[in-house]
Amino acid sequence: MNITLPEKFSVRHLIRLVFLCLLIALPAACPLRAEARRDILGSSSDYTAILYDSSNGLPTSEANAIVQSPDGFMWIGGYSGLIRYDGSNFYRFDSSTGISSVFSLFVDSKERVWIGTNENGIACFDHGDIKVYGRVEGLKSYSIRAITEDNDGNIIIATTQGLACIQEDLQVHVIDDPLVNLEYITALQKDEGGCIYGLTLNGAVFELDSLRISAFYNPEKFGEEPVNALYSDPGSPGILYMGTAGSELLTVDGNASMKIIKRQSTGQLKNINSILKINDLLWLSATNGIGYIDGTGVFTALSDVPMHNSVGHIMEDHEGNIWFTSTRQGVLKLVPDRFTDISKLAELEQTVVNSTCINGNNLYIATDSGLIIINSKSYNNIENPLTEYLKGVRIRCIKNDSLGRVWLCTHGETGLVCFNPDDSSITSYNETNGLDAARVRAVLERRDGSMAAATGNGLFIIKDGKVSAHYGQDDGISTTEILSVEEGEDGTLYLGSDGDGIYVIKDNRVSRIGHDDGLTSEVVMRIKRDDERGLFWLITSNSIQYMKQGSGSETDLSLTAVTNFPYSNNYDIYFNGNGKAWILSSNGIYITKVEELLDNKDIEYSFYDRRSGLPYIATGNSRSFLDDKGNLYISGTTGVCRVDINTEEGNTDSVRLAIPSVELDDRTVPVKNINDPVVIPAGSRKLVINAYAITFGLSNPRISYYLEGFDDAPVVTTKQEMQPVRYTNLDGGKYVFHLNVINDETGEIEKSASIILSKETSLYESFVFWAIFMVAIIALISFVIWKHFLKMNRELLAKQEEDQLFINEIMYTFAKCIDMRDSQNRGHSFRVAIYTKMLAEKLKEKREYTDEQISEFYNIALLHDIGKLSIPDSILNKPERLNDDEYKVMKSHAAKGAEILKDVRIVEDLAIGAGCHHERMDGRGYPRGLKGDEIPEVARIIAVADTFDAMYSTRPYRKQLDLSVVLEEIKRIRGTQLDEEVVDALIALAEENKIDKKAIDAAVLEEPQLVSMPEASSSDKKGEGLSDASSEKKQKKEELAR
């Protein structure tokens, strides 16, 4: 054995190594452990034992019975009651259901779950409905020990006081036979031929056929130890296995009067409680543990499981997992696990593993405190000079070279260690022989056989047993902490640094690839060459990238980040023979197609973590070993595990989808038939859909769900994260809830389940309701708008009336001023205004005058002589006739009146009445000489009223003329001086005796009246309320209207 040691290697070390040399042969002399655990679950995978007790879901750490219903649920019975398990959560049924202290369970051909209690009879769970049978229903005993079903569909019940059955009428019937009436019956078994076998507490066996006892065998027939368990061989009708209260298993032929065919030992197992055949193994549970007998008759006790006390029932679920119950320890599940826990098999203490490597039959394990070597088949621990040499040394990487030697990268004075298993020689490269680095992080064998060591002081090359080259700061490597090294096909070296990107060494020249060149992070933990795809894979501190060589220089490289990968804190990447990448990350392992990584679009993946059976999460920046057969030895945070990455493992085929019930406002409604709609009452506000993806394996399949008619897109989750789905305030209508299993590789739906939900339409959701509602809303809005505008209209009318009254008062005042100036013709302006109004009203229908126009005519007429204010009193009030000059001055009042009123806009045509009332139809009038239709209508009406009043009232120069004389004169000038229609209207008024001169004079002399506005319509008067002042004004207007 040749050992090359550093100069600082102590004599104490040498003595210890010499002593260990004497022990080199010891591993071969030591007895080996079994090479591997038997394939007991019918698959090529290893298995994991999971114990459920009060610490992880079960209400108490005891269980009496276990069954699985066709929908996938696992039902567990214990003294605490009935529990349902969906693979993620345990649900305990409240004792108010009548179910408590469960001792036995059975699922019949109609998928009903029968629950035998210890003290409350038997219950039937039929798709959510529970019916309990006790003494009132016909049972002789409340304590139910076993349940089965015969070929006619009768439920056979074993009690502590004989047998009973529940037939198709769902009524209890006692199986009356003196042989069993008082017997405490502990077990019932039906064979493939339909014969039912029973077992009593004292070990007697009987046969039941057509609800009658056809045979009865006393306990003495089977030996000294009483029979404690009974099981019929599923492949051989009539063949029974009987476990005794001792340590013996009997094989009995039921077709030959219970002839004992074989007796065999169950080893240390004593008091057999249950027997079940799975594949070619006959499983046994006993008071002190679990074991199995294989097809050759060899018994094996299962010693590496956490259940070993008071083990009862055994069952196999739809996925091949095996379940055991214990009245003291809960429920145990044996489940296939593709990961083999090597640390557990080798009985290693928990420790951080930095690197693994297989050399020959030995597994080398690098830790922070030294080297562990175990036999990869027997899992025996091996100690040799190398383990002694590296005791207490931190080892970061282990690699084989092409000569079969093992290279170990260490921290401290040991440096880079080369171990030759053939002669156990050890060579250390460190400061003493040219490798000046306190930390060696990684090592790579180059194509020329030299070794490239990545260290904390750059890169060292070892060739022919010597350090031949060093690349450090002097060569352009500014950050000398190198984490990874890889070689290209042309010998170019690529160095991943701790913060400065990638250094490229070609032809002894160093170049650099950094962030500006496409690196997402300049901390490059791993560089791996992929010869199949002609590229390099990069694991940086925040992403996965790949790098391809361009056609130019060594730095002509294209870098692509796989941005759609779901996780960023990754450690390493490995490739199997099926085109898939295994990516070790800080939260588990991702498995995806390499093609999808390169496409960087929709990346489908499988994921394993501790809940999926992965014993250990990979250590950060560790190195795991992949052998030629695809076995990956993972360096974990507390140990080592192995997995075959070439073996495909589907995780969705066995998943069962179930939607057993929905909750409507906290009221549970069972879904008895998925084809029948679940009716949701119109008033329901909250809907909870209890949806389950049931698998009891370690996989964690992806699940999607959505409510058709409500959800825009499916919600994607996992089986482990699946929760009841909640909706609130759904509209009335039809919905379909879809529950899907998604294939990890394709992203497609692999299996699906659905239920139909029909929510009754509320009154407010019907078309008629909304039609009426909209009409009501429109009517209400219209009413509000109408009331608003009515109020505004009333206010406007009131304002208009006030304004009009103000206008009338102004007109009245001016008219009064005119009469005060023209004292000899007092009341003339008011009488002309009254006559004008009377004439306009007479012409109203013919000329289509409005009330507003007639009111305006009245006001215009009031001021028709306003120009007289400019006439001197000597002329205006002259008692005699005027001479020509005076008359000429007097005639100017018309033009001056128009001039005075021309800028007044408050009343339309006000100036016209003053300026044109002396125009004549024949054009001989003044001041403008207008004729015919050139004269405005209001002026023509005023002209008739003015002419009539001039003759029909007393003037200084003459007395009032008789009405007939006046009318004759009016008729005479009809058409020449006055408008014919207006004259005709005057004559008509006279003929109708509507011209009451005395009344008019009296009214004018007492108090000239103000004209009123046209009366509002009746609809405008409704609800009208005026102030006292407005009422008084209104009264004056009404008097004027009279």
Residue 761 shares a structural domain with residue 804: no
Instruction: Give the pLDDT score at 1006.
Output: 65
Instruction: Give the pLDDT score at 797.
Output: 82
Instruction: Give the pLDDT score at 859.
Output: 86
Instruction: Give the pLDDT score at 1035.
Output: 38
Range of the domain at 923: 788-1009
Instruction: Point out the least confidently predicted range of 16-20, 900-904, 942-946.
Output: 16-20
Residue 925 shares a structural domain with residue 832: yes
Q: Is residue 744 part of a domain?
A: yes
Per the DSSP assignment, residues forming a β-bridge with 781 are none
Task: Note the pLDDT tens digit of each residue in 941-955.
Answer: 999 999 998 899 887
Instruction: Give the pLDDT score at 19.
Output: 41
- Say if residue 17's pLDDT is above 70: no
What share of the chain has pLDDT > 70, as a percent? 90
- Say if residue 925's pLDDT is above 60: yes
Q: Are strands 239-244 and 155-159 parallel, antiparallel or unpaired?
A: unpaired
Residue 942 shares a structural domain with residue 808: yes
Instruction: Point out the least confidently predicted range of 302-316, 422-436, 783-797, 925-939.
Output: 783-797
> What region does 546 belong to: left with phi over 0, alpha with psi -120 to 50, or beta?
beta
Q: Is residue 214 part of a domain?
A: no
Residue 868 shares a structural domain with residue 970: yes
CATH of the domain at 830: 1.10.3210.10
Residue 756 shares a structural domain with residue 860: no
Q: How far apart are CA 566 and CA 449, in angstroms?
A: 39
Residue type at 738 in one-letter notation: H
Neighbours of 684 (CB within 10 A): 18
Instruction: Give the pLDDT score at 424.
Output: 94
What sections of 96-157 are H helices per DSSP? none
Q: Is residue 735 part of a domain?
A: yes
Q: How far apart are CA 267 and CA 610, in angstroms?
A: 35
Instruction: Give the pLDDT score at 934.
Output: 93
Instruction: Give the pLDDT score at 1001.
Output: 81
Q: Is residue 423 part of a domain?
A: no
Instruction: Give the pLDDT score at 650.
Output: 62
Residue 753 shares a structural domain with residue 821: no
Q: b or e along 546-563 (b: 16 or more beta carbons within 10 Å of the residue's beta carbon)?
A: bbebeeeebeebebbbbe
- Say if residue 1024's pLDDT is above 60: no
Query: Which residue in 638, 589, 636 sits closest to 611, CA to CA?
Result: 589
SS3 state of residue 698: coil
| Bigger pLDDT: 1005 vs 92 | 92
What is the arithmetic mean of pLDDT over 354-381? 96
No. of helices (H) and no. of strands (E), the chain: 17, 66
Answer yes or no: are the C-beta atoms of 205 and 241 closer than 8 Å: no
The total of structural domains in the chain comes to 2
Q: How far apart are CA 477 and CA 481, in angstroms?
A: 9
Task: Note the pLDDT tens digit of each residue in 80-132.
Answer: 999 999 999 999 999 888 899 999 999 999 999 999 999 999 999 998 899 99
Answer yes or no: are the C-beta atoms of 493 and 536 closer than 8 Å: no
- Say if residue 619's pLDDT is above 80: yes
Residue 743 shares a structural domain with residue 703: yes
Instruction: Give the pLDDT score at 41.
Output: 66
What is the arithmetic mean of pLDDT over 649-653? 69
Secondary structure (DSSP) of 787-814: HHHHHHHHHHHHHHHHHHHHHHHHHHHH
Instruction: Give the pLDDT score at 823.
Output: 65
What is the arithmetic mean of pLDDT over 504-519? 95
Q: Which two tokens stand for residue 706?
A: 């959505």
- Say if residue 42's pLDDT is above 70: no
Answer yes or no: are the C-beta atoms of 452 and 419 closer than 8 Å: no
Q: Is residue 970 part of a domain?
A: yes
Quote the Cα angle for 756-762-767, to 5°.
105
What share of the chain has pLDDT > 90, as a percent? 70
Q: How far apart are CA 784 and CA 792, in angstroms?
A: 12
Secondary structure (DSSP) of 429-483: ESGGGT---SBEEEEEE-TTS-EEEEETTEEEEEETTEEEEEE-GGGT-SS--EE
Q: Is residue 12 part of a domain?
A: no
The DSSP H or E segment spanning 186 is strand 185-190
Residue type at 98 in one-letter notation: G
Classify residue 214 as exposed, middle or buried by CB count within 10 Å of its CB (0-12, 13-18, 19+): exposed
Answer yes or no: are the C-beta atoms of 521 and 559 closer than 8 Å: no
Highest mean pLDDT among 666-680, 809-823, 901-915: 666-680
Residue type at 628 in one-letter notation: D
Residue 746 shares a structural domain with residue 810: no
Q: Which of 733, 765, 797 is the last residue of a domain?
A: 765
Q: How far apart are CA 821 and CA 870, in angstroms?
A: 10
Q: 801 pLDDT band (50/70/90 cuts)?
A: confident
- Say if residue 271's pLDDT is above 90: yes
Q: Are strands 311-316 and 322-326 parallel, antiparallel or unpaired?
A: antiparallel
What is the arithmetic mean of pLDDT over 832-845? 92
- Say if residue 739's pLDDT is above 50: yes
| Bigger pLDDT: 1021 vs 144 | 144
| Bigger pLDDT: 925 vs 810 | 925
Per the DSSP assignment, residues forming a β-bridge with 174 are 164
Instruction: Give the pLDDT score at 864.
Output: 87
Q: Is residue 923 part of a domain?
A: yes
Query: Which residue in 481, 474, 478, 510 sits closest to 494, CA to CA?
Result: 510
What is the arithmetic mean of pLDDT over 1022-1034? 36
Cα dist. 776→136, 730, 765, 780, 835 in Å? Answer: 61, 25, 16, 6, 54
How high does pLDDT run on average in the chain?
88
Residue 882 shares a structural domain with residue 998: yes
Q: 1007 pLDDT band (50/70/90 cuts)?
A: low
CATH of the domain at 695: 2.60.40.10
Residue type at 924 in one-letter notation: R
Instruction: Give the pLDDT score at 14.
Output: 42
Q: Which of 765, 796, 823 is the last residue of a domain?
A: 765
Task: Note the pLDDT tens digit of each residue in 19-39.
Answer: 444 333 333 333 333 333 446
531 contact partners, CB below 8 Å, separation of at least 6: 489
Task: Note the pLDDT tens digit of each residue in 176-199.
Answer: 999 999 999 999 999 988 999 999
Instruction: Give the pLDDT score at 817.
Output: 78
Instruction: Point out the least confidently predicted range of 441-445, 536-540, 836-840, 1003-1007.
Output: 1003-1007
Q: Which of 765, 799, 832 is the last residue of a domain?
A: 765
- Say if residue 804's pLDDT is above 80: no
Task: Note the pLDDT tens digit of each residue in 558-604.
Answer: 999 999 999 999 999 999 999 999 999 999 999 999 999 999 999 99
Instruction: Give the pLDDT score at 913.
Output: 85
244 contact partners, CB below 8 Å, separation of at least 6: 222, 223, 225, 226, 227, 228, 250, 272
Instruction: Give the pLDDT score at 23.
Output: 39
Instruction: Point out the least confidently predicted range of 398-407, 836-845, 876-885.
Output: 876-885
Rg of the Cα atoms in the chain = 57
Instruction: Give the pLDDT score at 147.
Output: 98
Classify residue 996 as exposed, middle or buried by CB count within 10 Å of its CB (0-12, 13-18, 19+): exposed
Q: Is residue 817 part of a domain?
A: yes
Residue 868 shares a structural domain with residue 1001: yes
Residue 813 shares a structural domain with residue 919: yes
What is the arithmetic mean of pLDDT over 142-167? 97
Query: Which residue in 297, 303, 330 sits closest to 37, CA to CA?
Result: 303
Residue 742 shares a structural domain with residue 829: no
- Say if residue 555's pLDDT is above 70: no
Query: Which residue in 533, 593, 608, 600 sits closest to 564, CA to CA?
Result: 600
